Structure 1
Amino acid sequence: MAKILNVSHLAKHYTSGTKELTVLDDITFDIEEGETFAIVGPSGSGKTTLLGLCAGLDRADSGSVALCGIDLSTLNEDERAALRNREVGFIFQNFQLLPTLTALENVIVPLELQGIKNPGKSGMDLLDKVGLADRSHHYPSQLSGGEQQRVALARAFSSNPSILFADEPTGNLDEETGERVVQLLFELNQEANTTLVIVSHDLELAQRNQRILRLRGGKIIANESTVHL
């Protein structure tokens, strides 16, 4: 299988007052196309920082990230944004829906950015898959947290991304709602055969992936396969 993400000797530091804080230290791993991959660790272990670097939302201080075969350090801001728009989907803990757009309009934003004509039908199909076709004209403020995250799921898959980054996708949901969202996430992912990278502190959710990368204090302490019977 081809590698969709190659991370090599990645490091990230922040300056706090007179102190330099190491957030990530010598991180190396890769992910194959179609793989489901979890990044876990306690708060402050560098999980979200690592996800941002892998997706090209931020730049590393040293080391390299190659996404879909392209070294992100060779791209400027606009080129990285274009690559994300083409290849990457996102799901965030706080949903990040646009409040002035309806559920359907939120779902089709990535398609419109790609210049796809008449994206409404595929947007409605996706809302139907997440059980929200009847809520397509509702605004985020009219939806529950679980419904907003299901809209975010539909949006993430709307442009058929090669890789999808999910940052604590159930972090703001109760257990039952979170389970529904996770089930939909894996169903949609299997159907689309997207590479899935989930950042979570939930070990149960992590175990549902094919591989788990464990971080502590900005370092990798394990990179292991999970056994699915």
Structure 2
Amino acid sequence: MSKILKVQNLSKTYRSGDQHLHVLNNVSFEVASGETFAIVGPSGSGKTTLLGLCAGLDKVDDGEIWLCDQNLVELDEDGRALLRNQHVGFVFQDFQLLPTLTALENVIVPLELRGTKKAAEQGRELLAKVGLENRSGHYPSQLSGGEQQRVALARAFANRPTILFADEPTGNLDDETGAKIEKLLFELNKEQGTALVIVTHDMELAQKADKNIRLRSGRIEQTIG
């Protein structure tokens, strides 16, 4: 099974005045094609920083990250953006839908950016998969939190990404709604064969993944799977 993501001896330090904050220290792991992988740990453990580095949203200080066979260390900002556009999907805790666009328009934005033909048709199919075929013309403000996250899921899978990064995808939802989103996320992931990396503080969610690592103070404290 090919490795979609390889992280080797990764470290990240931020400077604050004269102080240096070591956020990540010598982190290494791999994620295979189609595999589900969770990153867990308390607040301040470096989870979100690690996710951003793996997705090429920030630059590496020390170590290497290989994403879809490309070394992120060797890519400039434009190169990393191109790689994300071709291979990566995102789901965020706060949904990040465009408020002036309808549910359907939010879903097809990535399709239109790539010049996909029949983008609207594909968008409607995706909304149907997440159970929102009758809400396509509604704006985010007219949707519940759970419905907004379902739109975000449909958008994330629109380009059939090789890997999907989900940052606390149920963090802003109640338990019942969160459970439905989790189920939908894993179902879509399995259907499309996408590698899935989830950042969460929820151990119950993490245990549903094929593998998980637990961070503490920027280091891997435990690896399961």
TM-score (norm: length of structure 2): 0.99
Moved over 4 A (4+): none
Deviations 1:51-105 (A, max 9, x none): 0000000011111111000001111111111110110000000000011111001
Cα deviation for residue 113 of structure 1 reads 1.4
Aligned length: 225
1:37 aligns with 37
Distance 1:18 1:77 in 2: 27
Letter in 1 for 2:220: I
SS in 2 for 1:190: helix
Structure 1 residue ranges without an equivalent (≥5): none
* Backbone CA RMSD of aligned residues: 0.7
Deviations 1:27-56 (A, max 9, x none): 111111110000000000000000000000
Letter in 2 for 1:200: T
Deviations 1:144-167 (A, max 9, x none): 111000000000011100000000
Is the 1:37–1:212 contact (alpha carbons within 8 Å) kept by the matching residues of 2? yes
**Structure 1 residue 64 and structure 2 residue 64: aligned?**
yes
1:118 aligns with 118
Is the 1:36–1:197 contact (alpha carbons within 8 Å) kept by the matching residues of 2? yes
Cα deviation for residue 118 of structure 1 reads 2.2
Distance 2:34 2:54 in 1: 16
Is the 1:85–1:113 contact (alpha carbons within 8 Å) kept by the matching residues of 2? no
**Structure 1 residue 79 and structure 2 residue 59: aligned?**
no
Give the fraction of aligned pairs with identical amino acids, expressed as a percent: 65
SS in 2 for 1:172: coil
Distance 1:152 1:35 in 2: 21
Letter in 2 for 1:152: A
Distance 2:65 2:30 in 1: 9
**Structure 1 residue 166 and structure 2 residue 166: aligned?**
yes
1:207 aligns with 207
Alignment of 1:1-150 (within 5 A): 1-150=1-150
1:197 aligns with 197
Letter in 2 for 1:77: E
TM-score (norm: length of structure 1): 0.97
Is the 1:11–1:24 contact (alpha carbons within 8 Å) kept by the matching residues of 2? yes
Distance 1:223 1:55 in 2: 21
Higher deviation after alignment, 63-72 or 114-123: 114-123
Higher deviation after alignment, 110-119 or 142-151: 110-119
Distance 1:214 1:121 in 2: 41
Letter in 2 for 1:25: N
Cα deviation for residue 114 of structure 1 reads 1.3
Cα deviation for residue 112 of structure 1 reads 1.0
SS in 1 for 2:157: helix
1:178 aligns with 178
Letter in 1 for 2:33: E
Distance 2:119 2:223 in 1: 39
SS in 2 for 1:189: helix
